[in-house]
Amino acid sequence: MIGATALLRQIARRRKRRLDNQNAIAEQKRVLLRMVRKARDTKFGRDHDFANIKSVADFQARVPLRRFEDMWDDYWGADFPILRDVSWPGLINYFATTSGTTSGASKFIPVTN
């Protein structure tokens, strides 16, 4: 019978080998496109044509960089604290609170599973 420690070591070694063999860039692209597909029916997704994003270049062309204040003003502020299908599908149940050290005011960041 194999001990729990030996079994966990074996599982960890397999996981490490699998991670070592992954292409980080390809994996990031895959995850980004999966998230875009999932969020395509949100307000943010519709505003940025997520339904037609097929590549990282498409995403970069359609989604500009934003400051927190811009996201708050354009998407989160009006409906806070009830954010449903705004920037992520479903109801946002949790918010992280920043310390407010840079702006002097705490910010509420939507957190999902």
Are residues 87 and 42 in contact, defined by beta-carbon separation less than 8 angstroms?
A: yes
For residues 51 and 39, membership in a common domain is answered with yes
Residue 89 class from Cβ within 10 Å (0-12 exposed, 13-18 middle, 19+ buried)?
Answer: middle
Closest CA to 108 of 97, 100, 92: 97
In a domain, residue 39? The reply is: yes
Are residues 106 and 98 in contact, defined by beta-carbon separation less than 8 angstroms?
A: yes
For residues 96 and 53, membership in a common domain is answered with no
In a domain, residue 9? The reply is: no
pLDDT band at 2 (very low <50, low <70, confident <90, very high): low
Taking all residues of the chain, what is their mean pLDDT, rounded to a whole number? Answer: 91
pLDDT band at 60 (very low <50, low <70, confident <90, very high): very high
State yes or no: pLDDT of 106 exceeds 90: no
Q: In the block, which residue shows the tokens 């070592």?
A: 20
pLDDT of residue 35: 98
Residue 37 lies in domain: 24-64
Residue 55 CA: distances (Å) to CA of 29, 34, 45, 93:
8, 11, 15, 30
pLDDT band at 79 (very low <50, low <70, confident <90, very high): very high
Mean pLDDT, rounded, for 95-107: 82
For residues 73 and 55, membership in a common domain is answered with no
For residues 60 and 76, membership in a common domain is answered with no
In a domain, residue 111? The reply is: yes
Name the residue with higher pLDDT: 61 or 21: 61
pLDDT band at 1 (very low <50, low <70, confident <90, very high): low
Interatomic CA distance for residues 98 and 107, integer angstroms: 5
In a domain, residue 14? The reply is: no
pLDDT of residue 64: 96
